[in-house]
Amino acid sequence: MARATPSNTWTKPAGRPIAGKPIPRPTRSADVQAYIPEMVKGLGITMKHFFKNTKEMVLGQKPDPVLNALEPGVTTISYPEEKRPYPERFRGIHRLTLREDNSPRCVACLCCSTACPAQCIAIEPAEYPDGDRRKGYERYPSSFVIDELRCVFCGFCVEACPVDAIRMDTGLHAVPYDSREQFIYRRDLLMSLSDRSGSRLTANTRHEPGDPTHPGLSRDHADH
């Protein structure tokens, strides 16, 4: 004979009334009945912090809630006037680094868009026009689009880039725009962003044939 299924402890048992658990009521002592002393106590704490903060503000002694976040006494920061700094390795909005002549360092090798797990990078490569000294040597992105809504900020594109052209060191995170279109970051916007110190100079100069910094032949030697 099949056994009855065990009763579910989360539902009311069949056929039995619900057994309540008696909770003793608090005794109505005089200091509980009279709320005024408790209210004064609470107001005292408020006033203590008020005068302390006012004094520190007037004397300029207020500890920086951002830099001294672990100091006693400060419990809140006044966001958005005060912001916690991101750690050095925080991955923010991408930027495209530039060469000395302000052209993009990106050579449109598509390594970043290949590595991107969210497939948020779309690059259209193009060849330099006739007469450009990089013509025939490398290519550049005629269009470089990152969909920041799709991006998962994993940093794989930065890892994959062989020429240090894409970085996530702007320190910015995507602000709440009001349309999807505004999250589509295009080439010129990405090239205009700087690192968190405001610099757009690269730390990794490339020495290419033809550059004054290049110790070898110039590309003019290419004519046989």
Partner 1 sequence: MPTIKIDGREIPFESGDTIIRAAHRAGIDIPHYCWHPGLSVAANCRMCLVEVLPPPGRPAMSLDILRWDAAKQDYVPAAKPKLQPACQMACASGMEVLSDNSDHVSEARSAVQELLLLNHPVDCPICDQAGECRLQDYWLEHQRKGKRMRQEPVHKPKAVTFGPTIVYDAERCIVCTRCIRVCNELARDPVLSVRERGNLGEITVSPGRELDHNYTLMTEHVCPVGALTSRDFRFKARVWFLRSARTVCQGCATGCNAYLDYDPRNNTPYRHRPRENMAVNTYWMCDEGMLSYRHAVEGRLLTALVGNDDASLDDALAAAKEQLAGHGDDPSKVAIVLSAQHSNEDNFALYHLATTYLGATDFFVSGKPLGEGDDILISEDKNPNTRGAVQIAAATPPRPVAELLQGIASGHYAYVVALGSDLEVDAGEAQRAFSRLKGVVTIAAHEGPLAKAARVALPACSWAEAEGTYVNGKGLAQRSERALLPHGDARPAWELIGRLGRALGYETGWKTLAELRRAMPPGAALGGAAGAAAPAAALGAAPAVADGARVEPKKTEATA
Binding letters toward partner 1, positions 90-109, x by CB under 8 A: -----------------x-x
Phi, psi of 100 (to 5 degrees): -65, -30
Rule CB under 8 A: is residue 190 a binding residue for partner 1?
no
Using CB under 8 A, which of the segments 31-39, 150-158, 180-188, 215-223 binds partner 1? Answer: 215-223
If you search the block for the tokens 């405001």, which residue do you land on? 198
Using CB under 8 A, which of the segments 18-26, 39-47, 141-149, 210-218 binds partner 1? Answer: 210-218
Q: How far apart are CA 159 and CA 72, in angstroms?
A: 40
Q: How far apart are CA 169 and CA 218, in angstroms?
A: 34
Site size with partner 1, rule: CB under 8 A? 23
Rule CB under 8 A: is residue 127 a binding residue for partner 1?
yes
Q: Which residues of 4-24 are buried (b: 16+ CB within 10 A; e: fewer)?
A: eeeeeeeeeeeeeeeeeeeee
Binding site for partner 1 (CB under 8 A): 107, 109-111, 114, 125, 127, 136-139, 162-163, 209, 214-217, 219, 221-224
